[in-house]
Structure 1
């Protein structure tokens, strides 16, 4: 076998690989010799089929296997000897298209090598860790929000008109073309006006009704309504208003605390403070991580594989285009060409991605099975009733596993860097932290 370098420009590499006909023939004979003891053929005892007959029967198929194994072996040996790590799957093609048995095999292999990542002295990284405490005002605000979610409704005075946010109790019968339809009727139904729980236009027409009123609500089902036989059709709902109730926030006391699983109000306040501070810590970490990545981006420079940058820039441009055109759900639109801004962002992401991967590899950082399982379980909760199916889908999908593993690995590498960096704490208010987070979003 002969391997000859044909291209070495920057990170681009090219090689011509020649596998001689004699090598292929020897490989095929080796495979036939391995298989011969187990082969059975009519007219011969097991293991006694002559080699020429075996070659005639199986040689063509084994020739393809031998060719693939030999080329794969040459590629693996090349990467082992050169130390190159391809940025993506190498492109391999056979150049003698008129090849026939007995000819040498000529193959071209090309790829972009991953760059050599320079050493980084992590101790020179200086980071500021923001710390925000949950003050009394924030805890009180959270308590009031909880009380709103636990609100009750009490009857308004006789003759009072329903307002937006009130709850009305109604009987209704829905009709399309004068005929009642299945699922369109109910009795003693509690409807909160402004909740948007009914089809558009329904609740607005009931603002101002009083207990005892009868009202025909005229609406049209949306064109994309889930029940196809109703989609886009006009309907009339004959409604009888049985009562009008005003919202009453729950009293903030020990009883409210017990409704949320706490022993008393003091315990609930403690739980709320802990939850808020956990949220603040998460936001502060995001700010510190951005500062870390900015510093790494400034102190490290190396050549980037053009194909990785190009792919990342196209992905960024495509994602941002969809954010600007949310009405387009499919991906059959015209190609979105990356701008210079997209390319710069792509270079940053690729550079930092390669650097973090290198630092993580040197630190022997691994994502454990337990961490992956926890991540999958957390995401599976977004699909109530289908958790098992989601779990099995992830287990069978290597690409999805990699997508879930990547952010876990990155966070662990960031933690590793932070442990070695010079970190100082700075206590700030919740509002100051919020401004810092908003500044991050503006820079994205």
Structure 2
């Protein structure tokens, strides 16, 4: 087998591989002999099928395997000796298209090599870490929001008509074709008007009702209703309004604290403060990460593989187009051309992506099985009732695994660089931190 270099310009590489017919024939015979003891064929005992017959029966398929294995072996040896790492899957194609058995096989291989990444003095990078503390006013504001979310309802003045947002306590009995149906009746049911808890049209007909009113609510079950015996049917619910209650903010006290799993109000305040400061820390990390990426982008420069740049620019253009056209789903839209702005952004992303990958590889940073499992679990929560199917999908989809692994790996590399860089802390107010976050663009 001979390997001849045909292209070496920048990061582009090209090779011509010639596999002699004799070598291929020998490899085919070797593979058939390995399989011979296990082959069964009518008229022959197991393992006694003649090699010539095996070759006639399976030779073409085995020949394809032999060609692929030979090319893979040659490229593996080439990458090991040259140190090249292809940016994308090499393009491999057979050049003697009129090939027939007994001919040499001629194959062309083309790829773009990943560039050499220059060393970076990480200890020389100066960064500022913003630190914001949760003050009493912020904690009080967060507690007020909790009190509003833990909404209570208080009886309205007797004779007051209900309105959207009120809670009505009702007895109801539903009938279809004059007959009560299973699950269509309840007593002392608390229903918040406007909440969309019941089928469309039900709650609207109770707006304006007073305690003591009898209301016949006429509705039609949706055609896709979960109970097939009710889907699309007209129904009447005889409702008795027993109380009308107005929403009222819960009081900030120990009882409210217990609703949120705290022992008392002071403990809840402590939990709220911790949560706020965790949010501030996350925002500060985003600001610090941007500063780090800006710093790295300013100290490294190297040639970038055109194929990676084109792919990234196309992805950016496609993503931004969909953000501007949220009503269009899927890919049924005109071809989207990457602009100079998209290409400039792609250069930054590809350069930093390659640099972070190199730093992570040299530092032997890896994403653990536990970290991947946690990432999959977090994603699976978006599909309630289908978590198992999602897990199986990810296990069988290498691209999805990479999409989940990549951000974890990047965060671990960023943390690694933070540890080596010269980082100074600066205490700021919540407002200053918010301004710093707002100043971040979409890069």
TM-score (norm 2): 0.88
Question: Aligned partners of 2:293 and 2:420: how far apart in 1?
Answer: 15
> Which deviates more from structure 2 when the two are superposed, residues 230-239 or residues 290-299?
230-239
1:243 maps to which residue? 243
Shift of 1:199: 6.5
2:70 maps to which residue? 70
Q: CA offsets per residue over residues 332-384 of structure 1, 9 Å max, x none? A: 22222222211111111111111100000000001111111222222323333
Q: CA offsets per residue over residues 131-164 of structure 1, 9 Å max, x none? A: 1111111111222222222222121011223344
Superposed, which structure 2 residues align to 1:25-40 within 5 Å? 25-37=25-37
Shift of 1:292: 0.7
2:101 maps to which residue? 101
Question: Aligned partners of 2:249 and 2:126: how far apart in 1?
Answer: 48
Residues 218, 306 of structure 1: alpha-carbon distance in 2 compared, 3 angstrom cutoff: farther
Q: CA offsets per residue over residues 243-281 of structure 1, 9 Å max, x none? A: 210122222122222222222211111111111111111
How many residues end up aligned between the 2 structures? 443
2:360 maps to which residue? 360
Superposed, which structure 2 residues align to 1:335-350 within 5 Å? 335-350=335-350
2:115 maps to which residue? 115
Q: CA offsets per residue over residues 156-186 of structure 1, 9 Å max, x none? A: 0112233443212346688999999998876
Give the secondary structure class of the aligned counterpart of 1:263: coil
Shift of 1:46: 6.1
2:79 maps to which residue? 79
Superposed, which structure 2 residues align to 1:71-220 within 5 Å? 71-170=71-170, 188-197=188-197, 207-213=207-213
2:9 maps to which residue? 9
Give the secondary structure class of the aligned counterpart of 1:334: coil
1:293 maps to which residue? 293
2:282 maps to which residue? 282
Unaligned runs of 5+ in 2: none
TM-score (norm 1): 0.88
Residues 295, 197 of structure 1: alpha-carbon distance in 2 compared, 3 angstrom cutoff: farther
CA RMSD between the two structures = 3.2
Question: Aligned partners of 1:338 and 1:171: how far apart in 2?
Answer: 61
Question: Aligned partners of 1:424 and 1:177: how far apart in 2?
Answer: 75
Unaligned runs of 5+ in 1: none
Q: CA offsets per residue over residues 178-197 of structure 1, 9 Å max, x none? A: 99999887665433234354
Residues 5, 429 of structure 1: alpha-carbon distance in 2 compared, 3 angstrom cutoff: same
